[in-house]
Structures are given as C-alpha cells and as structure tokens.
Amino acid sequence: MRTLKFANDQYYHIYNRGTDKRKIFSDDRDHFRFLLSLDLLNDNKDGLMIAWRDFRKKQSKASLHDFLISEIRKREYLVDIVAYCLNPNHYHLILKQRKEQGIQRFIQKLGISYTKYFNERNRRSGVLFQGKAKSVNIKTTGKLLYLSAYVNCNPEIHGIAKAENYGWSSFAHYIGKRRDKLCRPKDVMSHFKNRKDYFQYAMENATEMKIRKKEEKLLLE
C-alpha cells in the first residue's frame, strides 16, 4: 500500500487488481474465501482464520455463525467495511479505520492470506496482486456517497452484471435484497430517506459513470 497516513474515523477507498490484469476470482469458492478473509482478518488479534479451520475439522457441518458465537472474546475490529465489490480481476473496498494503523494491517493480512490460498489452490507461486493496494482518503460526505455508488454498482459500470443482482458486492444489502453482516452502511444510508431513495441515487450515478467510461474508451481508440 502506498505511503499514506491513515487516521481513525476517516474513510478510505482501497482497491487493487490482479497482476497483469489476471483474474483473482475464478468461481464462487474464491469469492467466498475472500469474503471470509474480510470477516476473520478484521480483528486486532491474529488467529481467527486458524481457529475457524480447526473448528471446522471438529464440526464439519458448522457454519461461520456457529463459530463466531462460540468465540468467548469480544472482537476488536480494525476497520468498518462500509462497502465492497469483488470483480473478476479486481476488488474495491470503502473502509473506515477504527484502530491505529488498522487499514494498513488489515489490507496486508488480506493480501497475504488470499494470495496463499489462491496459489495453493491453483498450484502457482509468486505475487497475485498488481503491487500494493491503492488508497484514497475520502474527505467529504458528498464524495463518500458518490464512491459508495461507484463501489456498490461497479459490476454494472464495467458491464459484468446488473448491480442489484450481483452476489459479490454490498449493493444488495444496501437496497434490502440480502442481509450482509460483513458491511456497515449506516454512515451512508443515514443521508437517505430509505433504501429506495439510495437505489435511485446509486443507479443514476452508475448510469453516468458507465457513459463516461464508454466515452473515455472511445477517446483512447
């Protein structure tokens, strides 16, 4: 991650892609593994991923929820995950830092853990991501709302799938189509009357972003 001093209670847009623009998510298993990492690595103390693995060995039919409620200690989150999207060759996150150096620690753990999983599964070695994750400080409420629409609707902006039907972003949770305990949209949703209001805002902006993307592509051709 590039040099940037992360501050507590500040919002940041974090994103990265596969090296050489390669796919980093090939199927549902990869997506689920990344989401699992987003959950269990978001902790001030290490060891939850290993504890989950050991728990599953003893109780193969147990769910992640069963495991988490079995944990005696209280979670100490490094960040709040405000929004996320996993596209085939890149990911986007909007994070709010809760602990000192929380974002830096979280993203480092995430990159190491997922790369190790991906390499073992695909019998490869070496780096998976294209350098360090990029990060941008979100300094205004307007920018936070705009980027939430960009991240939530990213698959539609890129022409991958309709945002509201895409299973690997937080948009379905924002608009009430799916319950997602991973993300915390309150700081965004508090600026809208209801989910329908946010849906309209997000889709209007996504449409403009998609048009702008096409225009920029034409200029480069």
List pLDDT tens digits, range 88-113: 999 999 999 999 999 999 999 999 99
Q: Which three-class secondary structure string do you get for 6-37?
A: CCCCCEEEEEEEEHHHCCCCCCHHHHHHHHHH
Residue type, 195: R
Mean pLDDT of all residues belonging to the chain: 90
Share of residues in the chain with pLDDT > 90 (%): 77
Give me the half-sphere count of Cα atoms (radius 13 Å) on the Cβ side of residue 108.
10
- Flag whether pLDDT at 218 surpasses 60: no
Phi, psi (degrees; rounded to nearest 5) at 176: 85, 15
User: What number is the average pLDDT over the span 8-30?
Assistant: 96
Give me the half-sphere count of Cα atoms (radius 13 Å) on the Cβ side of residue 118.
24
pLDDT score, position 117: 96
Instruction: List, in order of start, the domains of the chain with CATH numbers.
Output: 11-42+77-220 (3.30.70.1290)
In angstroms, the Cα distances linking 103 to 10, 110, 151, 215 are 10, 10, 18, 34
Q: Which residue has the higher pLDDT, 54 or 43?
A: 43
